Amino acid sequence: MRVALLGCGNVGSALAELLTAHGDEIAARTGTRLELVGIAVLDLAKDRGPGVPAGLLTADAKALVERPDVDVVVELVGGIDPARTLVETALRAGRPVVTANKALLAEAGAELAALAAEHGVDLLYEAAVAGAIPVIRPLRESLAGERVLRVMGIVNGTTNYILTRMTEDGSDYEEVLAEAQELGLAERDPSADVSGDDAAAKAAILAGLAFGSEILGADVFREGITGVRAVDVAYASRLGYVVKLLAVAELVDGGPDISVRVHPAMVPRSHPLASVRGAFNAVFVEGAAAGELMLYGRGAGGAPTASAVLGDLIDAARNLRAGASAPPPRRHPAVVRPMEDLRSAFYLSMDVADRPGVLAAVAAVFGRHQVSIRAMEQVGLGDEARLVFLTHAAREGDVRATLDELRRLEAVDRVGGVLRVIEPEVGDAGVGAAAPAVGG
């Protein structure tokens, strides 16, 4: 199988190295010989190291995709343009495409999947979500017959590293971010990670696979980690929770409506996702018959991501030879419920004047908006008091109205942390039982 590689950066160069240095071994192991016939890049003068055959480099990606002797195209350029045009050109020419491009899939995944189906070829993207971890194939194939109820993942290594350090060392967000940038664990411009945008693109892809609906990245509610404070992480810890940035796609009230969202959440320490530390990723799936399963591993990095691309490449080559293609995505006429309509338990902390009557006034605001308090703690801070509340499951719109009114209350100096809480199900030992109490 003759492979055209578009892009030779972190992932592309690792793939080129795997194909050239281990080509014989891969052929012996899989029965598929993959021959790299061209590598498209932007800058031909850049030093690529000894693992990349310099003679294969070209600056004309379009011509490489259109070469008649190319069987399979691997897109590792990233971004929307020209990646989208290159992928479409390959699919229209009847060439399977393997990509790791989450941004492109979150914007045009459904259209590209339709184009691939029209031309009877594969569009495979295992590496686009959670790097080396097999997530896409299990959802698409192993769980093809399963009624998936919920997919909940830690799919961004940078933010998980930051939150882990905040939990374990008590450090502040800014301090850990600066350190992560020094160590190369966060980009110089970390905005796509810390804003939740990167995780939202992956949430859209996961939702599409789990529920077959045509979810775009723009449909995903997102809240990043920039507002998470060390003090709230410490409170969460004392209460038996760990703060994680979660990507969630789930059926609401048993479906067909779904919820797709990214936000920090307090996860019970007993939940498998709570033990995912540092830059690691994990995806936790709940199915009606299969129950709970978790996939865990390295979510990024050149070599881990190239390994996932290689797996897809071997699949695409086998399918091409057999005249087959991977099963199409599920169909599910889903409506994405607005965030305001979902129900969840909340953690809320606020600083108030420490004088008689204030607690009653604050509690009255909760009551007016049908937000029921499950637990409360008061800590004295001189003239002020910090109030920390855990609520029962409440409608998000009602919680927002409560917060708006509290902010206007003269005795409330500031509303601090606001975190959604994943609660262990009643009657269960806790492990794997966490369920955001989402429903109409």
Interface with ligand NAP (CB under 6 A):
6-12, 40-43, 46, 61, 76-78, 82, 100-102, 127, 131, 300-301, 305
What is the 8-class DSSP label of residue 187?
A: -
Active site residue 46: no
State the burial class of residue 96 (Cβ atoms within 10 Å of its Cβ: 0-12, 13-18, 19+): buried
| Residue 365: CB minimum distance to ligand NAP, A | 44
Which residue's Cβ has the minimum distance to ligand NAP?
9
- The whole-angstrom separation of Cα 195 and Cα 388 is 25
**In angstroms, rounded to a whole number, what is the distance separating the alpha carbons of residues 333 and 434?**
26
37's tokens: 């016939």
Query: How does strand 35-40 pair with strand 2-6?
Result: parallel
Closer residue to ligand NAP (CB): 18 or 388: 18
Whichever of 48 and 261 has its CB closer to ligand NAP, that residue is: 48
Hey, is 349 helix, strand or coil? Answer: strand
Residues in a beta bridge with 351: 386, 414
Measured from the CB atom, is 309 or 371 closer to ligand NAP? 309
Cβ 293 to ligand NAP shortest distance, Å: 22
Residue 94 contacts residue 66 (beta carbons within 8 Å): no
Residue 6 or 399: the one with the smaller Cβ distance to ligand NAP is: 6
Which listed residue (46, 62, 202, 244) is catalytic? 202
Q: What is the rounded distance in angstroms from the CA atom of residue 300 to the CA atom of residue 233?
A: 25
Q: From the CB of 72, what's the least distance to ligand NAP, in Å?
A: 17
- The position carrying tokens 């109820």 is 149
Shortest approach of ligand NAP to residue 281 CB, angstroms? Answer: 10
Q: Which is nearer to ligand NAP, 228 or 306 (CB)?
A: 306
Minimum CB distance to ligand NAP smaller for 64 or for 249: 64
Least Å distance, CB 15 to ligand NAP, is: 9
Is residue 386 within 8 Å of 350, Cβ to Cβ? yes
> In the bound complex, what is the minimum distance in angstroms from residue 304's beta carbon to ligand NAP?
7
Residue 241 token pair? 């929770």
Of 156, 176, 180, the closest CA to residue 166 belongs to 176
Q: What angle do CA 282, 288, 290 make, to 5 degrees?
A: 60
Q: Tokens 């609906």 correspond to what residue?
A: 213
Q: Residues, the chain, total?
A: 440
Nearest approach, Cβ of 64 to ligand NAP (angstroms)? 9
For residues 365 and 406, the answer to whether their CB atoms sit within 8 Å is yes
Question: Which CB, 40 or 116, lies closer to ligand NAP?
Answer: 40
Integer Cα distance of 315 and 321 in angstroms: 10
CA Rg value for the chain: 24
Residue 399 has φ and ψ, to the nearest 5°, of: -65, -40
The contacts of residue 373 (CB under 8 Å, 6+ apart) are 363, 366, 389, 390, 391, 392
Nearest of 309, 300, 308 to residue 157 by alpha carbon: 300
Q: Cβ(235)–Cβ(186) under 8 Å? A: no
Collapsing DSSP states into helix, strand and coil, what is residue 167? helix
CB of 82 to ligand NAP, least distance (A): 5
Indicate the residue among 85 and 370 with the shorter CB distance to ligand NAP: 85
Specify the residue, 167 or 305, whose C-beta has the smaller distance to ligand NAP: 305
Cis peptide before 256 (omega within 30 of 0): yes
Least distance CB 60 / ligand NAP (angstroms): 8
Residues recognised as catalytic: 202
